[in-house]
Amino acid sequence: MLKSSAPAVRVDNLTLSYRRHPAVHHVSGEFSPGSFTAIFGPNGAGKSTLLKGIVGLIKPDSGRVLLDGVARHDIGYLPQQSALDRSFPMRVLDVAAMGLWRKAGIFRAIGRKSLDHVEAALAAVGLTGFEDRLIGTLSGGQFQRALFARLLLQDARLILLDEPFTAIDARTCDDLLALIARWHAEGRTVVTVLHDLELVREHIPETLLLAREKVAWGPTTEVLTDENLARARHLHEAFEDDAELCEMPA
């Protein structure tokens, strides 16, 4: 169990942008230690951008990200599948083994004990027998399972998932949801971007409703109300894509 040392993530008046146009606009709040939170909102509402800001892939225009109890290199981050190149001739085993890089080093060969851990992780996600398959031959669901095996081996205390259930079959979705629930039960802090409203309502206890700015943040049953969802749609539709960054008083 990790609850006593689970990390918290705080964002303080955070603004993130692309080409000086805001994608996340003056957002403040906290992902509590050991929490399981969905980031939900309209397409183009800044959800993936917020994850990238937490990881450090995007520098804030204003405000800050505060990581309490975890270094950035200890974060388990899974980007959208569409952002990953599957044309490189890499085996499933090699993809999963990348989760051990902090322990084994980037260029060192893994030993028998580490190989046993890799095989166990692949078994945990239902990929026994796929070790030597090239990732370019996998279905979307199989590839996502391999990426989750990598996360298992990384053993991160803060896990950030960007649309982890897009373009996968229902069985894989159920299996991966069970794995995420296990991480949450172990006290890890889990944040996931999702677009399926009913999935969030059924499985995720906390939600940040985002429409470039924070609409609501808290227990899912209190956040995903008809009123809040309508407000998020209105904010998104009213936002001008060409708007310049504004400055708020400190």
Domain final residue pick, 155, 170, 194: 155
Same domain, 211 and 235: yes
One domain, residues 242 and 170: yes
How far is Cα 22 from Cα 46, in angstroms, rounded to an integer?
A: 9
- Do the Cβ atoms of 229 and 41 come closer than 8 Å? no
Average pLDDT, rounded, for the chain: 89
| C-beta of residue 9 within 8 angstroms of C-beta of residue 50 | no
Strands annotated E in the chain: 8-18, 21-31, 36-40, 62-68, 75-78, 158-162, 189-193, 206-211, 213-219
- Which of 120, 155, 190 represents a domain boundary (last residue)? 155
CA distances (Å), origin 1, targets 138, 169, 209? 33, 30, 29
- Count of domains in the chain? 2
Domain annotation covers residue 207:
yes
Counting DSSP H helices and E strands in the chain, the numbers are: 9, 9
- pLDDT, one tens digit for every residue, the chain (250 residues): 455 467 789 999 999 997 677 899 999 999 999 999 999 999 989 999 999 999 999 999 999 999 988 887 789 999 998 767 888 889 999 999 999 876 655 445 566 788 999 999 999 999 999 999 999 999 999 999 999 999 999 999 999 999 999 889 999 999 999 999 999 999 999 999 999 999 999 999 999 999 999 999 999 999 999 999 999 999 988 765 555 555 544 4
DSSP state of 91: B
pLDDT value of position 107: 45
Q: Which of 155, 173, 199 is the last residue of a domain?
A: 155
147 and 245 fall within a common domain: no
CATH code for the domain of 231 = 3.40.50.300
Q: Give the domain extent around 23.
A: 1-70+157-250
CA 10, CA 101: separation in Å to the nearest integer? 27
